[in-house]
Amino acid sequence: MTTPAADVKFGIETFGDLPLHDSGEPMSHAASLRQVVEEAALADQVGIDAVALGEHHRPDFAISSPEMVLAAIASRTERVTLGSAVTVLSSDDPVRVFQRFSTLDAVSNGRAEVILGRGSFTESFPLFGYDLADYEVLFEEKLELFAQLLTEKPVTWQGTKRSALHEADVYPKTDSGSLTTWVGVGGSPESVIRTARYGLRLMLAIIGGDPGRFAPYVDLYRRATAQLGTTAHPVGMHSHGFIAPTDEEARESYFPGYKAMRDRIGAERGWPAMTRAQYDDEVDFGSLYVGSPETVAAKMTAAIRVLDVGRFDFVYTGGGAMPASSRLRAVELFGTQVIPRVRELLAEGAA
């Protein structure tokens, strides 16, 4: 591995899926947000390196303003890195995004980071007054502006979808002079090259199939940064899954919520409903990390090795439909059993 085993980082991600009360009733949006804060506080205690929160604007997810929730988490934690997953830059303003995360960086003593992306849903475009016909140009122009803002120097910039800036200085500055910034990529070579062009970090969203098929994108990122003269940072990946004491419990408890989420997305995009056989195949051979701590650790280790990534983010809340207590247990098992075991396996493979 390019990244030493001891230096690989592990995070958890959630989009604010609504968990269940012990009674079986879904939590309200407000209660779900408080639950996320509790899960993040536990992550800090059990040795997880990062917490990242997704942004959505729909009834089945509670988090529409990740920075607000992350600020609450900052007050409950000491060491865990705090980021988004992702901030939908296309339908936001780069200046305000920078200001919100530089503010989070200040109140968390330098623990903020941002993952920029175009998002897996498009509801934010009409909500905030953007035309989906401008989908590509909005992200391209706004990422260009954000890259300039990261210098933390006065910015002069002009595009077609936002008012121009002339020697604009943006506050607050970060203490370090640098806000860690990733770009979430779902498998587009053009997006990989764009990320390399700006010298930003690459986070691969691997939500299905053999993770090894993303190896060419890791190679492309490294070759592109070398040719463009930018920095090749350690690559990250994120994938869904769930951890329980046994493989059977994990598979059975995770399936209903994951299928419901997958089918909701599929209905919007013209996909057929997911079958149990497809789910089992994804757990056995694809990019669902579902099982006991030992099973999940072995599968994560294999993915980290084949892609040579320096960070693995575990999306531990797949569509809700599971008790909040089960989610807390999954976070605890990830930190106390899975991560130490993965580090052991990686070190053994490097010996």
The pLDDT confidence band at residue 22, using thresholds 50, 70 and 90, is: confident
- Which of 208, 153, 211 is closest to 318 using CA atoms? 208
Element (H, E) at 237: strand 236-243
Residues 56 and 64: beta-carbon distance below 8 Å: yes
Topology (CATH level 3) of domain 5-350: TIM Barrel (3.20.20)
Q: Which long-range contacts (CB under 8 A, 24 or more apart) does 210-219 make?
A: 210/285, 210/286, 210/287, 211/237, 211/239, 211/287, 211/303, 211/306, 211/307, 212/306, 212/307, 214/187, 214/307, 215/306, 215/307, 217/185, 217/187, 217/189, 217/192, 218/307, 218/308, 218/309
Residues 10 and 311: beta-carbon distance below 8 Å: yes
Alpha helices per DSSP H over the chain: 29-45, 66-74, 94-107, 124-127, 135-149, 189-197, 215-228, 247-269, 276-285, 293-307, 324-333, 339-350
266-282 average pLDDT score:
93
Give 236-252 pLDDT, tens digit per residue.
999 999 999 999 999 99
245-262 average pLDDT score:
94
Torsion of CA 93, 94, 96, 102, to 10 degrees: 160
What proportion of the chain, given as a percentage, has pLDDT over 90?
90
| pLDDT given at position 102 | 98
Residues 6+ apart with CB under 8 A from 80: 40, 43, 44, 48, 49, 50, 51, 73, 111
| pLDDT given at position 3 | 82
| pLDDT given at position 113 | 98
CA distances (Å), origin 238, targets 248, 297, 329: 23, 14, 20
Give 200-211 pLDDT, tens digit per residue.
999 999 999 999
Say if residue 225's pLDDT is above 70.
yes
| pLDDT given at position 10 | 98
Give 120-169 pLDDT, tens digit per residue.
788 999 999 999 999 999 999 999 999 999 999 999 999 999 999 999 99
Domain regions of the chain by residue span: 5-350
Mean pLDDT score of the chain, rounded to an integer? Answer: 95
59-83 average pLDDT score:
97
Cα–Cα distance for residue pair 221/209, rounded to 1 Å: 21
Start-to-end CA distance of the chain, whole Å, equals 11
| pLDDT given at position 181 | 98
| pLDDT given at position 1 | 58
Say if residue 351's pLDDT is above 90.
no
The pLDDT confidence band at residue 318, using thresholds 50, 70 and 90, is: confident
Amino acid at position 68, single letter: M
Say if residue 95's pLDDT is above 80.
yes
The pLDDT confidence band at residue 349, using thresholds 50, 70 and 90, is: confident
- This prediction has a pTM of 0.96
The pLDDT confidence band at residue 5, using thresholds 50, 70 and 90, is: confident
